[in-house]
Structure 1
Amino acid sequence: MSGKPTKVLRKALGANVRTERHRRALTQESLAEQLGITPRYLAAIERGERNLTLDSIEALAAQLDVDPHSLLACP
């Protein structure tokens, strides 16, 4: 199995997180602090470089007040 489907999902997740963060006028630093992660780690999520667990996606969605499924939606 190639990593392409996973890469597509990571990129979609990152783009959706960035969109929601911008929609709420949050900096990476402020959202990272709310999540208890480093801004560098959040930046890697937004670039699609991190493979998050479902629990992490759920926590991120809760912090952004969105449905977790919306963060995984591909364009």
Structure 2
Amino acid sequence: MRQEEEPDIKKRFGLAVKRRRQELGISQEELAELADLHRTYISDIERGSRNISLENIEKVAKALSISVSKLFANYGIEVQE
């Protein structure tokens, strides 16, 4: 029997960013401005279509007022065994 596959890391990270952004009540445009990134780049991250760099992961986390480790741990990025 085949197990259901987990979404890839880009999609899981994108969902975490979106959930945190919505929790803060800010738009993609506001997040982009806070992170010094383009709005379409934020949209691509949330859709899981960007392979985001470590530098940009840090920018996004700071803009979301959360540490990188808490973003990963608190928003379900890690795969459940």
- Calculate the TM-score normalised by the size of structure 2: 0.74
In the TM superposition, what is the alpha-carbon distance from 1:71 to its structure 2 partner?
3.4
For the residues of structure 2 that align with 1:12 and 1:70, how far apart are their CA atoms?
14
Larger Rg: 2
Identity %: 31
Q: Which has the higher helix share?
A: 1
5+ residue gaps, structure 2: 1-5
Amino acid at match of 1:31: L
Aligned-residue Cα RMSD (Å) equals 1.9
Higher relative contact order (CA 8 A, sep 6+): 1
Instruction: Please identify runs of 4+ aligned residues in structure 1 that moved more than 3 A.
Output: none
For this pair of structures, how many residues does the alignment match? 70
2:14–2:45: 8 Å Cα contact kept in structure 1?
A: yes
5+ residue gaps, structure 1: none
1:18–1:46: 8 Å Cα contact kept in structure 2?
A: yes
Q: Which residue of 2 aligns with 1:36?
A: 36
1:12–1:71: 8 Å Cα contact kept in structure 2?
A: no
In the TM superposition, what is the alpha-carbon distance from 1:18 to its structure 2 partner?
0.2
Whether 1:71 aligns to 2:71 is yes
- Calculate the TM-score normalised by the size of structure 1: 0.79
